Chain A
């Protein structure tokens, strides 16, 4: 039987750690009375306009720099249209054409065996980081056949980090996300607590034979912890292999991970391929960032974001801290991973 090569890519949404939302002045806070942290703009009342939060841009630039990305000095905002009760405007403001950061990389480590005695370093390419709005929260009440909508989360700033399909199993995906989580927490750009929905991960999985083109991929959602991420990815790889070996085909579909059953199931309400009708966000001009060379002479400081200024003030990343621990205290590299 010919061997299978699993291919895993990730789309990670990290909630930006800020006082207020991406395009409005309502507060960002977990667990507050329903619809108490909602402005007229968040509720999509006519006549309201988005106003970009400076802190959210800085968080995205910091994260881009920490992930070795090129920061786009000019990035654009777009509308992504779809209908759902927790998206009152009927579209999400995102960055589809030109995101704020592109072409980065993330290094992470894995134990070769389970005893942590030998570590191997892997790298995953970061395709891009984009700024976008979070949606509100839907609570499904099946008994009364209705959905309760809380817009407290609607409009909170997100950084979507797209990782190229350079991973091959659940363990690699989990290790990459764990390292990203540590980096975000070190930077302070996101608290990245998965249990509070501050870090959400969707996995794209496919399998193929060596030398053949990539197989059809499925998207796996509803993964609520790093442990479940590894399980979901490994389950999906196995499911696809079994399906193909039994002569079946893989559908390009979205599946949800069921943590109780430990399997993935097709998601309802996702009929066919979505057409998001992307268009430029007409209420926002391009986002222009500067560096030491291009700094404008006569502009209000508060209106200027200097990439080099942010770069100089980046804290030591986990990988650097580990190296320093090994150097300073002479501990084994494996132990530096236990500490950080």
Chain B
């Protein structure tokens, strides 16, 4: 069962993963097939497991003390662009190029 172009487009929007060429799409198909094996197991009435550690994994609770922060300079060193201690970002989410443009790119490789 092949992954449709619409699903591919949807995934690229959600995860910003570029499937770039047919090899990438093939890898995705194989990954889905591999994961589909899970569906063969009957899990009716079985609670999903979050971690193999189960009850032995205790959530650590931290005291409400201020112990971090005040490292503006260090954090801004990672910023490509900054304005007076603010990070600079584009005005909104940059929409992915239209599906048709990406499709021709896919075929071209």
What is A's interface to B at a CB cutoff of 8 Å? 18-20, 24-27, 33-41, 43, 45, 51-57, 76, 81, 83-85, 138-142, 145-151, 268-269, 271, 275, 277, 280, 284-288, 302-303, 305
Contacts and interface: CB of A to CB of B under 8 A. Distances in A.
A289 B50 CA distance: 18
Interface stretch (B21-29, B34-42, B59-67, B100-108): B59-67
Given A20-B67, A39-B69, A268-B92, A34 B59 contact: no
13 contacts: A25-B66, A34-B86, A35-B76, A35-B85, A36-B70, A39-B71, A53-B62, A83-B93, A147-B92, A149-B86, A150-B87, A277-B15, A302-B63
B68 interface: yes
B64 A19 contact: yes
B65 A25 contact: yes
B88 A25 contact: no
A34 B85 contact: yes
Contact of A142 (B60, B91, B95): B91
B90 A146 contact: yes
Contacts of B31: none
Contacts of A19: 64-66
Nearest to A142: B91
The 5 closest A-B pairs by CB, nearest first: A25-B67, A85-B89, A55-B64, A26-B69, A39-B68
Q: Is the interface of B mostly helix, strand, loop or mixed?
A: loop
Nearest to A81: B14
B66 A285 contact: no
A24 B67 CA distance: 8
A285 B68 contact: no
Contacts of B14: 81, 275, 277
A54 B87 CA distance: 30
Nearest to A19: B64
A132 to B, nearest CB: 16
B85 A303 contact: no
Contacts of B61: 52-54, 57, 302-303, 305
Contacts, number: 136
A142 to B, nearest CB: 7
Nearest to B50: A280
Contacts of B63: 54-55, 302
A84 to B, nearest CB: 7
Interface in B1-45: 10, 14-16
A56 B72 CA distance: 25
B86 A35 contact: yes
B58 A303 contact: yes
B75 interface: yes
B84 to A, nearest CB: 7
B59 A149 contact: no
Contacts of A275: 10, 14
Contact of A151 (B16, B60, B87): B87
A82 to B, nearest CB: 9
Contact of B58 (A33, A138, A147, A285): A285
B90 A85 contact: yes
Contacts of A280: 50
B53 interface: yes
A25 B62 contact: yes
Contacts of B57: 285
A34 B69 contact: no
Contacts of A84: 93
A9 B30 CA distance: 44
Nearest to B81: A146
Contacts of A18: 64
A39 B70 CA distance: 8
A150 B53 contact: no
B51 interface: yes
B2 to A, nearest CB: 21
B46 interface: no
A287 B59 contact: yes
A279 B36 CA distance: 18
A26 B76 contact: no
Contacts of B92: 147, 268-269
